[in-house]
Amino acid sequence: MRLIVILLAVFLTACSTLTTKDKTNFPIINLVNIEGNSVVINGEINKPTVLLLFDYNCVHCVRAIQDIEDKFLGLVNESEVQFIAVGRDHDVEYLQSLKAKDNIKIELIADPKRVIFTFFANKSVPRVYLYDKRGELKYSHVGWSDKVSDRILGEISRLIGWVDVVVTR
């Protein structure tokens, strides 16, 4: 029984600490959106950034995009926080059609060969990462739920100085 508890604790710890490969900083990569504009150059971000790794065939990923657009974009000024969604296994044309069809407003990045994805993970989406303006990882999570959404909004509020924001469920 003791061995089972120890193994379970090790498994849960390993699953809950999945982050970028160096575990602390935004990787030194360039990100270009589906319109061809640079979003990140050499890993430099100058404001808090929410990065979502998604596959549009995953219902949780679609919900994550909808939540970011519905909850976050209505509350947070995009000049204060950057929202980026990287489409794993999706090409530019596919994401452009989704953006037009579903009126997606956040930055979409195509990653048809998982080049960007491999900087962060090996499998499982959605994955969300929140970095401060210096590129330091402040929060990461695999999966999506109301609690994750609330946690990210709370972390964003601290990063941009909204000290009186309290999200409860």
Query: Domain map of the chain by residue range?
Result: 2-160
- Give per-residue pLDDT as tens, 93-129: 999 999 999 999 999 999 999 999 999 888 899 999 9
Pairwise pLDDT comparison (163 vs 57), residue with the higher score:
57
pTM comes to 0.81
In this prediction, residue 3 has a pLDDT band, given cuts at 50, 70 and 90, of: very low
Give pLDDT, residue 163.
Answer: 56
Structural Rg of the chain based on CA atoms: 16
In this prediction, residue 137 has a pLDDT band, given cuts at 50, 70 and 90, of: very high
The arithmetic mean of pLDDT across residues 67-93, rounded, is 90
Statement: residue 140 has pLDDT above 80:
yes
- Please say whether the beta carbons of 144 and 59 come within 8 A: no
> Whose CA is closest to 108, among 86, 129, 91?
86
> Whose CA is closest to 106, among 140, 65, 146?
65
Out of 3.40.30.10, 1.10.10.10, 3.30.70.3460, 3.30.590.10, select the CATH number for domain 2-160.
3.40.30.10
- Give per-residue pLDDT as tens, 59-77: 999 999 999 999 888 777 7
Statement: residue 79 has pLDDT above 50:
yes
- Please say whether the beta carbons of 43 and 29 come within 8 A: yes
- Give per-residue pLDDT as tens, 5-55: 333 333 333 333 333 444 689 999 999 999 999 999 999 999 999 999 999
> Whose CA is closest to 80, among 146, 144, 160, 148?
160
Give pLDDT, residue 19.
Answer: 39
